[in-house]
Amino acid sequence: QALEMDSAFARLTAGGGTAFVSSGDAGAYALGCNGAHGLGIYEPADSPHATGVGGTTALVGTGGTYGEEAVWGEPFVQWGAGGGLSVVFTRPKWQTGPGVDNQYSDGMRQVPDVSAIADSDTGWDVVMGGSWYAGGGGTSAAAPLWAAVAALADQALDQRHLPQMGFANP
């Protein structure tokens, strides 16, 4: 199934699009793409033709202000942003930069590519059916946020008669 999804994502990127895919909410204990010691990442976020979206948690600064963001993880319940190395896909040529070459690098695709707020304790308030709810989250909320930002960026580029973003990863 990983190769089928990768093929679909390849067609999308060839047409100038980007698939923003959730990296999963089971931390390193994802089912599917299992690596050494049973640790792994969710498919299809490991596709080299997709943009894998991880999750963060917001940390409050002094006086209740925004402080910073850190990786979202709750290790006691094995919950948090998924990430790691694919056991299916090799590392694409565009995947370079600080942190990519480290003691864990094995030449395979690394996930996630980007992250956004995903911790339901610090992240999303949702209006549904006219009522306000606190506590939405997960990387399934972070991925559409990135898709929306990309759509707005493409719209702004189009208004300026500039080329659209295309595949985000390179």
Taking only the tens place, the pLDDT of each residue in 84-134 is 888 889 999 999 888 888 888 889 999 999 999 998 888 788 888 999 888
Report the distance separating Cα 89 and Cα 22, nearest Å. Answer: 17
Between strands 124-128 and 66-71, the pairing is unpaired
pLDDT of res. 40: 65
pLDDT of res. 86: 87
Cβ neighbour number for residue 23 with a 10 Å cutoff: 29
pTM value is: 0.87
CB of 64 closer than 8 Å to CB of 53: no
Report the distance separating Cα 47 and Cα 125, nearest Å. Answer: 30
Residue ranges for the chain with pLDDT beneath 70 = 28-40, 75, 77-78
pLDDT of res. 132: 87
pLDDT of res. 124: 82
Q: Which helix (H) or strand (E) holds 153?
A: helix 139-159
Cβ neighbour number for residue 86 with a 10 Å cutoff: 23
Q: Give the residue among 49, 52, 143, 39 at the shortest CA–CA distance from 87.
A: 39
List 56's β-bridge partners, or say none. 71, 117
CB of 1 closer than 8 Å to CB of 36: no
pLDDT of res. 35: 53
Report the distance separating Cα 87 and Cα 27, nearest Å. Answer: 16
